[in-house]
Amino acid sequence: MDAFRLSHSFMLSTNIHSPSSLCTLRSLSTNPRNRWFKVEATAGGSQKKNNNKAFDAAAFEAERLALDAEARRTMADAADPKAWKWIIRKRIWDMMEARNFANNPRPVHHRIPNFVGASVAAEKMRELDVFQDAQCVKVNPDSPQKQVRFLTLSDGKKLLTPQPRLRTGFFSVLDSNMLTLDTIKEACTSVGVAKHGRPIGLDEKIKVDLIVIGSVAVDPKTGARLGKGEGFAELEYGMLRYMGAIDDSTRVVTSVHDCQLVDDIPVEKLLIHDVPVDIICTPTQVIFTNTSIPKPQGIYWDKLSPEKLGQVRILRELKKRIEQETGQKLPTGPSEKLPPTAQRSRRG
């Protein structure tokens, strides 16, 4: 037998943590003086990355960059230049390049732009009551929100972040209590999340107090938002709704350059799964949108193509689970051409 699992309740009087231990102690109580645990033991190594293979950060990053580049090429090929969303996106991307309002990675086209002043906007977000009160913050993995991820961990909060394009799984949780200052800095990167994060599944019991989302364009008067066009932010939001981690009261915040503020996103043309924002932080201001746009209530399966389902394993698992629970087959949306974002090999 390669592995065994023990479950037994017992009392510990001290706080035990051993990186090399063959046992994982999972707390079953929040009382710090009388804390009950479940033992989950695996023969031959820890639960996380127990194949004894060293994590190859350089190979991981090289593969991520290659897949991202291919995804952007495919997005460019598939984009409809006459579609209203793409007209707005291209206008913002072109302007940010022309006026040098962006940092690397560039060009910004088909990305969440890493805008100049992103760290300043992050500090403004840090001053928000909703950020200071949050214990767990979900932050997108894009470059302009790197400082937000750092502030989340350095302020002693839990960080929930999706694996890029959901290609390797689902979300990872990073607990600031398990990190040093040096590893906090690394944990704000994709490589660091892969090294230090704890992957979670659909059964994870977690409460997210704040959602930070990247944007290409956002309307400060309505809270209408456009991302880069792949729809992963909407999928992430819908899955968190399914898990019960968020609800309508969970605030959604974005950080952008002032040039990304627009007034021509037609609310009536937004789709049911588009996620509006409650608060916008720029390098110069904080805007409360008081949005009246309804937030998505979950995953809208009739909008999901077979290709998207084929790329994202966690979506297939969720669909299968719901169909088994309800005894009904869920609908599927029309076909579409998608970039190859699900081919990452498993490492470490």
Say yes or no: 159 and 262 in one domain: yes
CA–CA dist 152, 134 (Å, integer): 9
Q: Is residue 145 part of a domain?
A: yes
Tokens 């503020």 locate to 261
Say yes or no: 17 and 165 in one domain: no
Q: Is residue 343 part of a domain?
A: no
Predicted pLDDT of residue 2: 39
Say yes or no: 165 and 106 in one domain: yes
Say yes or no: 156 and 96 in one domain: yes
The model scores a pTM over 0.95? no
User: Does pLDDT of 325 surpass 60?
Assistant: yes
Question: In total, how many domains does the chain have?
Answer: 2
Q: Is residue 331 part of a domain?
A: no
Structural domain containing residue 35: 1-48
Most trustworthy range by pLDDT among 50-59, 135-144, 228-237? 135-144
Q: Is residue 193 part of a domain?
A: yes
User: Does pLDDT of 77 surpass 60?
Assistant: no
Say yes or no: 216 and 178 in one domain: yes
- Dihedral (CA of 59, 60, 61, 63) sign: positive
User: Does pLDDT of 173 surpass 80?
Assistant: yes
Say yes or no: 285 and 218 in one domain: yes
For residue 215, give the CATH number of its domain.
3.40.50.10420
Q: Does residue 308 contact residue 314 with C-beta atoms inside 8 Å?
A: no
Predicted pLDDT of residue 8: 34
Residue 163's Cβ-side half-sphere holds a number of Cα atoms within 13 Å equal to 25
User: Does pLDDT of 269 surpass 50?
Assistant: yes
Say yes or no: 118 and 29 in one domain: no
Say yes or no: 89 and 35 in one domain: no
Say yes or no: 40 and 75 in one domain: no
Say yes or no: 194 and 263 in one domain: yes
Say yes or no: 142 and 268 in one domain: yes
Q: Is residue 231 part of a domain?
A: yes
Condensed to tens digits (0 to 9), the pLDDT of residues 270-281 reads 999 999 999 999
Condensed to tens digits (0 to 9), the pLDDT of residues 139-161 reads 999 999 999 999 999 999 999 99
Predicted pLDDT of residue 113: 98
Higher pLDDT, 76 or 17: 76
Predicted pLDDT of residue 64: 58
| Region 163-173 average pLDDT | 73
Predicted pLDDT of residue 141: 92
